[in-house]
Every structure is written in structure tokens, then in C-alpha cells.
Amino acid sequence: MKKIISTNKAPAAIGPYSQAIEYNGVLYCSGQIPLDPNTMEIIGKNASEQAKQVMKNLEAVLGEAGSDFSKVIKCSIFLDDMGDFADVNEVYGSYFENEPPARETVAVQTLPKSVLVEISCIAFI
């Protein structure tokens, strides 16, 4: 059975989607951007600062579902500029020091609200 996951510790959806969906013990987390969950304002002026907020938001969604970064099996990283790869990778890597998940990183033309980074993930509960 499909279960919608929602928490006020992460930004509210800015479109017709859920923060995450759990199905058969697998959690599909929508992409998070660097929004403050209380003000819905963008946090961070550079990709590194924005990536830290993105990871905090993902952590809140994972936690609401009873999961955490150790249970993440796949991530997708979207960058506004591939020149930010190393900075985002450093922040991202600090959350996955042991047994990192599968991942791809792609550069896109524009992200929602013109942010620099968006990350989604799949985890188990």
C-alpha cells in the first residue's frame, strides 16, 4: 500500500507532488532544494551552502518515514553548473562516509526557483 510521507521539518511541496512516498518498505523521496522549511526562502549563496540545506531537508523527510542516510540506496543530484561538482560532492560525501549509495550527477539548464542544487533519493525503511 502506498503511504504519503510529509513533515513540516522540510519545505512544503511547491507543486503537485509529495515530499516522499513509501511503498512496500521502499521510500521514494522527491528532490529537495535549499529552502528553509519555516520561511520557504532559499538558504545559501553558493552551491556548498545550498547543498548543506538540501541534505538537512532530505534528512528530515527520511526521518519522518523512519529511515536515515544509512538506508539510502540511490541518489540523483542535479546541478545548475557542473563547475560546482566538487563543492557539492564534498558536502554530499560527508553524509555517506561508509557504503555510499548508487548515484548520478547531472547538470541541467535551470532548477526550481533558480537554485544551484537539487537532490532526490531512494531508501528503505
Question: For the chain (length 125 residues), average pLDDT per consecutive 10?
Answer: 97 96 98 98 98 98 98 98 98 96 98 98 97
How many residues are given for the chain? 125
pLDDT at 57: 98
pLDDT at 73: 98
The model's pTM: 0.97
pLDDT at 114: 98
pLDDT at 89: 97
**Between vectors from CA 72 to CA 120 and to CA 96, what angle results, nearest 5°?**
95
pLDDT at 20: 98
**What secondary structure, in 3-state letters, does the chain show?**
CEEEECCCCCCCCCCCCCCEEEECCEEEEEEECCECCCCCCECCCCHHHHHHHHHHHHHHHHHHCCCCHHHEEEEEEEECCHHHHHHHHHHHHCCCCCCCCEEEEEECCCCHHHCCEEEEEEEEC
